[in-house]
């Protein structure tokens, strides 16, 4: 198991990066989706009143 | 987009089957890929375990190049057609490309430390990747510092096109600068040294392509949702302007 | 011919503004002098010979000073909204680009004519011996620098934090040209001939053509009103 710690470090960095990006994407997506729902509700209320 | 929203349809709202299917497939492929990398592929005799970084490192590097090519193509298409989808594609590709590029720049030194005994060397591919990373960081910055999204899209397209066309010149200059003779480098670990290594590398490349595609699609979807929000906001504004009329009709 | 006339008119306008103000030029010269003194205190010119550090000093001084004047070339148009005037003139955007590029190149040349002898004096090198090849190299690389700078200055002038963004846009893309400039100049200062630097000259020419071509084709999208 020569140089195993470097291999481990590299994989950890790699997956942390990918996961952080995915997490950020899903967070933003959720925020935008909520906002879309909100505006749609507002639109419907205005239309029906 | 505004038109189809007014007609009551909701475009691009596909949390859809394709993205999910891709994610499922990707998960399976990634597990297989990890198994291949850690258990199937033989350990390289001189470098030891650390050589297995290459199964991630090289595909990520290749895919970031692909992403930047995509940015360039999308930029050209955007400037010609002025369709916002091309701008979204370019922006998404740039972001995912910079992500992959960052990971390459981080994992490269971790490999270099035990092998070359330095964290960083101004080697051709490292230097080229670093310069590309800087160019496309600038691409993302121009976008966020622009006065409005339309202007940002145009400026970014121009920068993306020039940045990508600059790539061959960068590579040539770095090679000349290091005094190396231009020759094709053999990718260590992937270059047919050992058939098992070669196979693992190909599977890894395919899997990372899927990961790239998934990230790109997700980023694109986020962009579409942003766009939808803008259009909906515009619709509410129109509604408030038109509202007195609506009220009288209902009476 | 109309196109060429438009190019000349734009270039003439900018040079006239430059000549009447002269403040831009004065600032640049003073700045390059400051850079030289800083160089002396960081590298110690008494220890190092011009063969080793000369090229670096020349090109860093040119680039840092040049980035100031290039960035200014479109910001001055913003002052009284004359950028809108430029947009409205019935001139091909490509001609505006080339005109601006010519004016910027001329200003940079004027700055270099003073700067290079200054560096030669402070670094103690016999300028006359290298004058011919050095002139060619500096001309070739300045052309590309100002071509890229003109294009990106138009972008930076229209964005927030443009002054800071401008060097960040120009330098990464321009790195091949800087490498070419420094390496070929080093060869010349070490008594090499132009034949030794042919690959670099080719590279710089390719870069210049690429950037000028891109500028001519893409400038209309940068100038467009949003």
Residues linked to residue B48 through DSSP beta bridges, in sequence order = B44
Encode pLDDT of C178-192 as tens digits: 999 999 999 998 888
Contact status, residue B119 vs residue B106, Cβ threshold 8 Å: no
Contact status, residue C204 vs residue C190, Cβ threshold 8 Å: no
Q: Write a three-state SS string for C146-193.
A: HHHHHHHHHHHHCCCCHHHHHHHHHHHHHHHHHHHHHHHHHHHHCCCC
| Chain A residues touching residue B111 (CB < 8 angstroms) | 6, 10
Q: DSSP string of chain B?
A: -HHHHHTT--TT----HHHHHHHHHHHHHHHHHHHIIIIISPPBTTTBGGGGGHHHHHHHHHHHHHHHHHHHHHHHHHHHH--HHHHHHHHHHHHHHHHHHHHHHHHHHHHHHHHHSSS----HHHHHHHHHHHHHHHHHHHHHHSSSHHHHHHHHHHHHHHHHHTHHHHHHHHHHHHT----PPPPTTTSSSSHHHHHHHHHHHHHHHHHHHHHHHHHHHHHHHHHHHHHHHHHHHHHHHHHHHHHHHH-
Residue-level pLDDT at B189: 42
Q: In angstroms, what separates the C-alpha of A39 from chain B's closest C-alpha? A: 7
Residues linked to residue B44 through DSSP beta bridges, in sequence order = B48
Encode pLDDT of C32-43 as tens digits: 899 989 988 888
Distance (Å, whole) CA A18 – CA B208? 11
Cβ–Cβ gap B172/C168 under 8 Å: no
Cα–Cα distances (Å) from C214 to B67, B99, C144, in that order, read: 21, 27, 12
Least confident of B5-9, B76-80, B111-115, B148-152: B5-9
Pick the closest to residue C87 from C157, C169, C189 (CA basis).
Answer: C157
- For the segment C58-76, the average pLDDT, to the nearest whole number, is 90
- Residue B14, both tokens: 């596909």
* Residue of B134, B135, B169 with shortest CB distance to C203: B169
Residue-level pLDDT at B3: 63
A15 reaches B (C-beta below 8 A):
no
* Cα angle A13, A16, A18; round to 5: 110
* Residue of B114, B225, B232 with shortest CB distance to A43: B232
Query: Best of B137, B149, B166 to disrupt the C interface by mutation (most C CBs within 10 Å)?
Result: B166
| Chain B residues touching residue A14 (CB < 8 angstroms) | 56, 60, 103, 106-107
Across chain C, what does the average pLDDT equal?
A: 89
Instruction: Report CA Rg, chain B.
Output: 23
Encode pLDDT of B86-133 as tens digits: 999 999 999 999 999 999 999 888 888 888 888 888 888 888 899 999
Encode pLDDT of B230-248 as tens digits: 888 888 888 777 655 554 4
Encode pLDDT of B172-214 as tens digits: 888 888 765 444 344 444 444 678 888 888 889 999 999 999 9
pTM of the model: 0.87
Cβ–Cβ gap C221/B154 under 8 Å: yes
Across chain B, what does the average pLDDT equal?
A: 83
DSSP for residue C1: -
C81 reaches B (C-beta below 8 A):
no
Residue-level pLDDT at B81: 92
C145 reaches B (C-beta below 8 A):
no
Residue-level pLDDT at C89: 82
How many other CB atoms are there within 10 angstroms of residue B74's CB atom?
Answer: 24
pLDDT above 50 for B249? no
Cβ–Cβ gap A40/B221 under 8 Å: no
| Chain A residues touching residue B243 (CB < 8 angstroms) | 46
Distance (Å, whole) CA B32 – CA B36? 6
Distance (Å, whole) CA C20 – CA C2? 27
Pick the more confident residue, B213 or C124: B213
Torsions phi, psi of B207, nearest 5?
A: -60, -45
Distance (Å, whole) CA B38 – CA B159? 40
* Cα angle B4, B9, B15; round to 5: 115
Residue-level pLDDT at B179: 64
Cα–Cα distances (Å) from C201 to B56, B173, B233, C58, C211, in that order, read: 38, 11, 55, 18, 15
Chain A adjacent subunits, 3+ CB pairs under 8 A: B
How many other CB atoms are there within 10 angstroms of residue A48's CB atom?
Answer: 7
Cβ–Cβ gap B142/C165 under 8 Å: yes
| Chain A residues touching residue B110 (CB < 8 angstroms) | 6, 9-10, 13
C175 reaches B (C-beta below 8 A):
yes
- Residue B139, both tokens: 């691409």
Encode pLDDT of B4-30 as tens digits: 665 555 555 555 677 788 888 888 888
Residue-level pLDDT at C1: 62
């Amino acid at each position: 198991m020569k140089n195993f710690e470097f291999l481990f470090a590299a994989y950890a960095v790699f997956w942390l990066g990918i996961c952080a990006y995915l997490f950020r994407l899903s967070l933003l997506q959720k925020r935008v989706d909520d906002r879309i729902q909100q505006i749609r509700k507002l639109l419907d209320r205005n239309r029906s009143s | 987009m505004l038109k189809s929203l007014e007609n009551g349809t909701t475009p691009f709202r596909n949390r859809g089957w394709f993205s999910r299917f891709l994610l499922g497939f990707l998960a399976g492929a990634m597990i297989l890929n990890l198994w291949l990398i850690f258990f199937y592929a033989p350990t390289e005799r001189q470098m030891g375990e650390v050589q297995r970084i290459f199964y991630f490192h090289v595909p990520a590097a290749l895919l970031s190049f692909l992403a930047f090519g995509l940015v360039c193509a999308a930029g050209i298409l955007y400037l010609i057609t002025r369709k916002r989808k091309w701008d979204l594609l370019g922006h998404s590709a740039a972001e995912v490309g910079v992500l992959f590029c960052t990971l390459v720049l981080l994992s490269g030194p971790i490999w270099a430390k035990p092998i070359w005994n330095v964290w960083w060397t101004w080697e051709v591919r490292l230097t080229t990747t670093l310069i590309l990373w800087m160019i496309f960081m600038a691409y993302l910055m121009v976008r966020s510092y622009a006065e409005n999204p339309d202007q940002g899209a145009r400026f970014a397209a121009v920068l993306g096109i020039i940045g990508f066309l600059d790539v061959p010149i960068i590579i040539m200059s770095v090679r000349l600068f290091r005094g190396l003779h231009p020759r094709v480098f053999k990718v260590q670990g992937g270059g047919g040294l050992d058939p098992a290594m070669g196979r693992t590398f190909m599977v890894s490349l395919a899997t990372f392509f899927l990961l790239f595609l998934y990230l790109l699609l997700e980023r694109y979807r986020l962009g579409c949702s942003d766009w939808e929000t803008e259009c909906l906001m515009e619709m509410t504004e129109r509604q408030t302007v038109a509202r007195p009329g609506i009220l009288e009709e209902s009476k | 011919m109309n196109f060429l006339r438009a190019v000349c008119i734009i270039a003439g306008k900018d040079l006239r503004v430059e000549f009447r103000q002269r403040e831009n030029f004065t600032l640049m010269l003073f700045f390059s002098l400051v850079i030289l003194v800083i160089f002396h205190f960081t590298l110690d010119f008494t220890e190092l010979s011009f063969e080793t550090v000369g090229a670096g000093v020349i090109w860093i001084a040119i680039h840092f000073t040049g980035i100031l004047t290039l960035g200014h070339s479109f910001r001055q148009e913003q002052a009284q909204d004359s950028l809108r005037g430029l947009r409205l003139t019935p001139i091909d955007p490509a001609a505006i680009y080339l005109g601006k590029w010519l004016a910027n190149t001329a200003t940079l040349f004027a700055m270099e004519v003073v700067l290079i002898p200054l560096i030669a004096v402070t670094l103690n090198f016999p300028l006359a011996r290298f004058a011919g090849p050095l002139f060619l190299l500096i001309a070739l690389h300045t052309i590309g620098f100002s071509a890229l700078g003109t294009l990106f200055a138009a972008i930076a002038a229209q964005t927030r934090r443009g002054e800071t963004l401008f060097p960040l846009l120009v330098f990464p893309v321009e790195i091949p040209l800087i490498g070419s400039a420094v390496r070929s100049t080093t060869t010349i200062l070490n008594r090499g001939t132009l034949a030794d630097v042919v690959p670099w000259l080719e590279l710089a020419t390719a870069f210049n053509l690429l950037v000028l071509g891109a500028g001519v084709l893409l400038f209309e999208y940068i100038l467009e009103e949003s």
